[in-house]
A = this chain, B = another copy of it.
Amino acid sequence: MKLILTGTVTEESGLTSYIDECKTVVQEKNYDAPEASLCLPTDSELFSKVMDMVQKMKTPRLKYVFVIGIGGSNLGAKAVYDALFGYADVFHPERFPKLFFLDTVDPEFLSSLRDFMEKHIIHEDELVVAIISKSGGTTETIVNAEIVMGQLKDRFPAWEKRCVVITDLHSKLHQEAQRLGIDFLEVPKKVGGRYSVLSPVGLFPLALLGIDIAKLLAGAEEMRERCLEHTKENPAQISSTFLFHHLTMGKNIHDSFFFHPELESLGKWYRQLMGESIGKEGGGITPIVTIGSIDLHSMAQLYLGGPKDKTTEFIYSNKSAEGAIPQEALFPSLNTVSGKSISVVMSAIQEGTSTAYQKQQLPFFEIAFDEVNCFELGSYMQYKMMEIMYLAHLLKINAFDQPQVELYKIETKRILLDE
């Protein structure tokens, strides 16, 4: 992964000592620090626990993995799964195991799921259900779990052997799992949902799918070292400073503009990371996600002709699958690209876009992946988590809490009690 920024960024001296603090957290494997998630890429004990559980659950018959979780409990795994499998999965009906995400509660969706399970899940070994909630008390997750497990219980006597609960040690959910004989993986106490993708929250479902989590962690580790260096090439330092600078100039929107449709879920993962971490005390940046070339046909007019209220990050990869446009055109009067490679055409659209941004003087930087793979995804996610920690530090806010989320939960509870 390479960060490309034209022009210079004012250095923010405030970061130097914070980078050293983060370095100490890593060196001391300090899981009590707010930055505890930085210890995850090299936690071999945790890796072994995840792989042992995968070994136990991965039966030869395994066809479906359900992840029941919402927000920080599923966005990381979904980002990686969609990048590698999910986007074109509809064209691979015979590829197993498949991963399904149950996040919000939707009666129609659940009724379709029930019929599907009855028809397609014949043996309990065909399924693993991962119930993921850091606090252990997320309403939607409990409701989805009750409904799905209720159904399994009616059909399979050893249903609890096909479930894994991933939550804080000693949470109520952990206690219930113990009572029911359901397996358990721990989320380290100080690792919050939006920083938990490299904990069992993300690693267990991905590894169960056969995704190489060792490479994901290796990418994260390499990036962590790069983001702890005092050099001008430190990616997290560069982009956090860039975002800080432009936020003080009034740019209140940041656009993650992916030239890979399969990375849309990665954008949604970052949306939570940025939104929840720095959206507080009346300040913050609204993260949006744009997919090239699709959204050029819906949003380019606004971006190029509308208000200059955004910073943009273009994400693309240097290597894509091979594929050529047929030499012999069906529509010769329209086709100016016959015989060309598809990736040459798509690269031209991406470069054309950034050139247009440059000419309109819209601030942006670029992230070039070598290709979309586990290592690069691990790199990118680790980079972003550190970028956000650094940005919060520059803004002098706490990157790890989310106090206002309670506001709607309190109202919801009151309404439910009044029913």
Contact = CB atoms under 8 A, between A and B. Distances in A.
Interface of A: 70-72, 75, 87-88, 90-93, 100, 103-113, 115-116, 136-140, 142-143, 145-147, 149-150, 153, 172-173, 175-176, 180, 193-194, 252-253, 260-262, 268, 271-272, 275-276, 279-284, 286, 288, 291-294, 296-310, 320-323, 325-326, 328-338, 340, 342-346, 348-349, 351-353, 355-356, 359-360, 402-405, 407-416, 419
Given A280-B306, A284-B307, A351 B411 contact: yes
Contacts of A283: 306-307
Nearest to A302: B279
Chain A: interface secondary structure?
A: helix
Contact of A143 (B194, B345, B409): B345
B275 A299 contact: yes
A334 B136 contact: yes
B405 A146 contact: no
A328 B153 CA distance: 12
Q: Which 8 pairs between the two chains have the least Cβ-Cβ distance?
A: A71-B297, A279-B302, A352-B412, A272-B298, A305-B404, A107-B323, A279-B306, A284-B306
A411 B355 contact: yes
A330 B333 CA distance: 65
A149 B334 CA distance: 15
A111 B333 contact: no
A280 B309 CA distance: 13
Contact of A404 (B107, B146, B291, B304): B304
Contacts of A403: 301, 305
Contact of A301 (B180, B275, B320, B351): B275
A271 B298 contact: yes
Contact of A172 (B93, B293, B334): B334
Contact of A70 (B297, B353, B413): B297
A153 B411 contact: no
Contact of A147 (B93, B326, B352, B359): B326
8 contacts: A71-B297, A91-B112, A107-B323, A142-B337, A146-B338, A276-B298, A280-B305, A337-B416
What is the total number of copies of this protein in its complex? 2
Contacts of A328: 150
A88 B108 contact: yes
Contact of A106 (B261, B276, B331): B261
A89 to B, nearest CB: 8
Contact of A300 (B139, B308, B352, B404): B404
Nearest to A359: B407
A80 B260 CA distance: 24
A282 B301 contact: no
